[in-house]
Amino acid sequence: MRQVTRQEKKFLIDPVTAVKLRRRLGAIMQEDEHNGSCGYRIRSLYFDTLHDRDFVEKLFGTDPRRKVRLRLYDPAGDFALLECKQKQGDDQMKRSLPLNREEAQALVKGDMGWMLQRPETFASEMYSLITINGYKPKAIVEYKRQAFVAKENRIRITFDTEVRATEANVNPFDENLCLHPVLDPFNVILEVKYNGFLLSYIKDAINSVSKRPLSVSKYCLSRDITMGYQF
């Protein structure tokens, strides 16, 4: 089980501003090893309760609240993460359970008996959370990410583009998944994550660009059709 506790702030910036900020951060931070030449893909399957409690709590800003998701980096690969993100005040805690492809596919189909065979206490905790609250797959979100990191205070700055989603197909392993855009292509999601406080020289670089706070999550954006929510 992996656990990360930190603060997280989200903003919207335009593509030109994103290019300028990436250039500045590239001079003072390290690039994520997975960036490559143009970033890497992330695909997340979000779960929610029968009455979409997590979606509603996010919209109303309920504190505390949580999100449950299955995250992939390669639909053809043998690795996934079952994650639970919990937010209380300014702090967020993300716990992750690494899964192999067989376990992840079973979870998507509603077969969770294998979770009770895992030695991690987090596995049994997630089994209880999902079964008691009736969590089911709701939507898939996919996007491209470029990230910059600094080991001090576990600082991580990410740029997310090409945000697309579907509620019609909840199989995250489908390599031919049909996705539709849920974010204006002239917007880039900037996420600023850190533990404790943000180093001043990084904070100055971020504050040097024009940005506006983002109040909705990628999960909320992904539910725009069935929930009638438009960003």
Q: What is the pLDDT along the chain (231 residues), one digit of tens a residue?
A: 888 889 999 999 999 999 999 999 999 999 999 998 889 999 999 999 999 999 999 988 898 899 999 999 999 999 999 999 998 877 899 999 999 999 999 999 999 999 999 999 999 999 999 999 999 999 999 999 999 999 998 999 999 999 999 999 999 999 999 999 999 989 999 999 999 899 999 999 999 999 999 888 999 999 977 776 544
HSE of 120 in the Cβ direction (CA atoms, 13 Å)?
Answer: 16
Q: What is the pTM of this model?
A: 0.93
Q: How far apart are CA 173 and CA 77, in angstroms?
A: 9
Q: How far apart are CA 9 and CA 157, in angstroms?
A: 10
Q: Hey, how many other C-beta atoms are within 10 angstroms of the C-beta on 227?
A: 16
Average pLDDT, the chain: 93
**64: cis peptide before it, omega within 30°?**
yes
Token digits for 203?
A: 């904070």
Strands (E), the chain: 2-13, 30-31, 40-48, 65-72, 80-88, 91-99, 136-150, 155-166, 180-181, 188-194, 212-213
What is the predicted pLDDT for the residue at 229?
53
Token digits for 112?
A: 């969770």
Provide the greatest CA pair distance for the chain: 51
Q: Provide the 3-class DSSP secondary structure of residue 199.
A: coil
